[in-house]
């Protein structure tokens, strides 16, 4: 529900005079809350199976959710099947999501075994909190306990600002999709974690429709079509993602380029051409080198001149392949 415009848990008290707005599970806000809760169930399932797994962050995203984990080995397809089965068991148990406010000190004590969560404590707001960090960012620090509906005992807990669905039974349909590597908080300077992606929907029919959509999109994947129609290929001898256009693909590419050129000329654009290689100083000025150096091809040291004794007469420069069609 929304209380005075703010998304809140259903179990929280309502004061006189507050404006109350219902949030249905199939609304954008309802789906966001439900997917966030599903991410918690995912993390609980992973730690039930692998207690040594350390938790990263687990936000809702478009059409689903993900959660990052620090584990010894990457997740396999069989791992995902086992995790999904454990998630289904947690959902059927109807565990309650219970919110409680904690101090920084208490949170650090409870999460002493979770190094990534400890890093987030104290970030209660401001520019330091990324949009995908659901653990903190509110006015106060809170934990969410997953409580056994029959015994009242806590089954699992996580640092989180919420809100969540009342119980896990209100997670109608979900599926784990894939796993991938991801750097902690998106920086290549940080440890590499393992991320599990999933999708969750307000009904089984909605989930089925989404999976069907993905299947149809895969049939139209340009990489598959390129091979099936003999348009282009990506030979291992050349490198991943480096396309070689076959005769049929060459015709399509030329027609597209001709069309694009004519449209630009009709709009009075003029054409210029620039090299794909340049000195590092240009990318230093543009900022590209600071941001993309880890993903760029290694530099080439060129233009150094030596005298007869092998001593440097003129210092050369480092040249880089441009990472994108800017800055020139």
Mean of pLDDT values over 72-83: 97
Shared domain check, 212 and 185? yes
Question: What would the mean pLDDT of 80-96 be, rounded to a whole number?
Answer: 98
Res 127 pLDDT > 50: no
DSSP 59: -
3-state secondary structure of 95: coil
Burial (Cβ within 10 Å: 0-12, 13-18, ≥19) of residue 140: exposed
Q: Taking residues 150-163, report their average pLDDT.
A: 95
Assess whether 148 and 238 both reside in one domain: no
Co-location of 88 and 180 in the same domain:
yes
The side-by-side arrangement of strands in the sheet containing 6-7 is: 6-7, 2-3, 20-21
Do 152 and 237 lie in one domain? The reply is no
Q: Which uninterrupted H or E stretch holds 263?
A: helix 247-266
Parent domain of 286: 277-321
Residue of higher predicted confidence among 129 and 269:
269
* Same-domain check for residues 38 and 165: yes
Q: Both 120 and 199 in a single domain?
A: yes
75 lies in the same domain as 192: yes
Whether 65 and 144 map to the same domain: the answer is: yes
The last residue of one of the domains, among 195, 218, 241, is 218
- CA-derived radius of gyration, the chain: 26
Q: What is the C-alpha end-to-end distance of the chain, expressed in Å?
A: 50
Beta strands per DSSP E along the chain: 2-3, 6-7, 20-21, 54-55, 60-61, 64-70, 96-101, 142-147, 154-159, 173-183, 192-201, 232-233, 244-245, 277-279, 300-302, 305-306, 312-314, 317-321
For residue range 290-322, list pLDDT tens digits in order.
Answer: 888 878 889 999 999 998 888 998 999 999 988
| Domain-located, residue 16 | yes
CA neighbor of 166 nearest in space, from 1, 55, 2: 1
With a CB cutoff of 8 Å and minimum separation 6, the contacts of 278 are 319, 320, 322, 328
Segment among 92-96, 135-139, 195-199, 226-230 with least mean pLDDT:
135-139
Q: How confident is the model at residue 126 (pLDDT cuts 50, 70, 90)?
A: very low
Q: Report, as an integer, the average pLDDT of 248-261.
A: 96
Whether residue 314 sits in one domain with residue 186: no
Confidence tier at 75 by pLDDT (50, 70, 90): very high
Q: How many domains does the chain have?
A: 3
The answer to whether residue 327 sits within a structural domain is no
207 and 289 housed in the same domain: no
Residue 176, domain member (yes or no)? yes
Strand partners, 25: none
pLDDT at 130: 60
For residues 114 and 145, membership in a common domain is answered with yes
Q: What is the mean pLDDT of residues 103-130?
A: 82
pLDDT score of 71: 97
pLDDT (tens digit, 9 = 90+) per residue, 18-46? 899 999 999 999 999 999 999 999 999 99
Please check the confidence at residue 164 and state whether its pLDDT lies above 60: yes
pLDDT beyond 80 at 129 = no
pLDDT at residue number 322 = 86
Quick check: 128 pLDDT over 90? no
Kindly report, residue by residue over 165-189, the tens digit of the pLDDT.
Answer: 999 999 999 999 999 999 998 888 8
What's the rounded mean pLDDT across residues 116-133? 69
Question: Of 176, 191, 218, at which residue does a domain stop?
Answer: 218
Asked if residue 71 belongs to a domain, the reply is: yes
For residue 249, list its beta bridge partners.
Answer: none
Is 52 within the bounds of a domain?
Answer: yes
Distance from the Cα of residue 15 to its chain's centroid: 37
Q: Are residues 187 and 309 in the same domain?
A: no
What Cα–Cα distance (Å) separates residue 46 from each residue in 84, 89, 184, 289? 9, 13, 18, 38
How confident is the model at residue 12, as a pLDDT? 83
**Residue 302 resides in a domain:** yes
Residue 326 resides in a domain: no
Rounded average pLDDT over 258-276 = 94
Q: Which of these three, 218, 240, 263, is where a domain ends?
A: 218
What is the rounded distance in angstroms from the CA atom of residue 211 to the CA atom of residue 37?
20
Q: What is the largest CA-CA distance in the chain?
A: 91
Residue 134 confidence (pLDDT)? 63
CATH of residue 36's domain is 3.30.980.10
The fraction of the chain above a pLDDT of 70, given in percent, is 95
Does residue 9 form part of some domain?
Answer: yes
Q: Please give the mean pLDDT across all residues of the chain.
A: 91
* pTM for this model (two decimals): 0.75
């Amino acid at each position: 529900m929304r209380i005075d415009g703010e998304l809140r848990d259903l179990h929280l008290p309502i004061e006189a005079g507050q404006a109350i707005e219902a949030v249905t599970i199939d609304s954008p806000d309802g789906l966001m809350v439900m997917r966030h809760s599903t991410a918690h169930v995912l993390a609980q399932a992973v730690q039930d199976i692998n207690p040594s797994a350390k938790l990263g962050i687990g936000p809702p995203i478009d059409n689903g959710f993900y959660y990052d984990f620090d584990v010894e080995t990457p997740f396999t397809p069989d791992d995902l099947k086992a995790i999904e089965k454990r998630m289904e068991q947690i959902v059927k148990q109807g565990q309650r999501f219970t919110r409680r406010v904690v101090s920084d000190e208490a949170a650090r004590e409870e999460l002493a075994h979770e190094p990534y969560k400890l890093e987030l404590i104290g970030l209660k707001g401001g520019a330091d909190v990324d949009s995908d960090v659901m653990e903190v960012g509110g006015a106060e620090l809170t934990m969410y306990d997953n409580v056994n509906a029959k015994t009242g005992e806590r089954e699992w807990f996580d640092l989180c600002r919420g809100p969540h669905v009342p119980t896990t039974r209100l997670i109608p349909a979900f599926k784990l999709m894939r796993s991938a590597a991801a750097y902690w908080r998106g920086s290549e300077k940080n440890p590499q974690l393992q991320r599990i992606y999933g999708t969750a929907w307000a009904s089984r029919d909605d989930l089925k429709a989404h999976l069907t959509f993905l299947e149809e999109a895969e049939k139209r994947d340009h990489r598959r079509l390129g091979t099936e129609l003999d348009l282009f290929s990506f030979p291992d001898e050349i490198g991943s993602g480096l396309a070689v256009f076959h005769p049929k693909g060459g015709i399509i590419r030329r027609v597209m380029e001709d069309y694009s050129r004519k449209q630009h000329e009709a709009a009075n654009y003029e054409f210029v051409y620039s090299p794909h290689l340049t000195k590092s100083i240009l990318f230093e000025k543009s900022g590209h080198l600071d941001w993309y150096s880890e993903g760029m091809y290694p530099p080439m040291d060129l233009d150094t001149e030596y005298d007869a004794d092998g001593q440097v007469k003129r210092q050369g420069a480092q040249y880089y392949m441009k990472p994108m069609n800017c800055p020139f």
